[in-house]
Amino acid sequence: MARESRRGGRRSLRVGEALRHALAELLARGEGLDPVLDGVSLTVSEVRVSSDLRYARAYVLPLGGEPSDAIIAALRAAAPRLRGPLARSIRLRYAPELEFEIDRSFEAAARMDAVLSDLDPRAINEDEPPQT
């Protein structure tokens, strides 16, 4: 999202967190959403909001190994129908335009964990003398 704030103000952080909770609740209920989303458990890990609060990008993670491409397509199709209930639930004057992406941070953390667990701690500083 090119319009996304790099610094992020307190207000956009607060609104992002409120949107994350409200969006998780709406998706858990699944009222009137795409049939692809029926019975799918989603984790909304983060919502980043632009500084003017007009755009929001939600990072979601399907649980249980569901196909993520179909879920993201269904969420993008349902985004216009989610704007109204979201704005009413957190009392925003304007509902932000929603974008959805799969959260890849958990995969990256697992890869880093695997790399770090394969390291031998004794081999890290073999060339350096011990500090006293």
* 20-52 pLDDT per residue, tens: 999 999 988 877 677 888 888 888 999 999 999
Domains contained in the chain, CATH given: 10-117 (3.30.300.20)
Using an 8 Å Cβ cutoff, are 49 and 34 in contact? no
Residue with more model confidence, 6 or 96? 96
Element (H, E) at 62: strand 55-62
- Model confidence, pTM: 0.74
Secondary-structure percent of the chain, ordered helix, strand, coil, rounded to 5: 50, 15, 35
User: How far out from the chain centre does Cα 112 lie?
Assistant: 19
Question: How far apart are the C-alpha atoms of 2 and 21, rounded to whole Å?
Answer: 24
User: Is the distance from CB of 57 to CB of 97 less than 8 angstroms?
Assistant: no
pLDDT digits (tens, 9 = 90+) for 56-71: 999 999 887 677 888 8
In the three-class reduction of DSSP (H, G, I as helix; E, B as strand; rest coil), residue 34 is classed as coil
Q: How many CB atoms lie within 10 A of CB 107?
A: 11
Which tokens in the block code for residue 56?
Answer: 């929001």
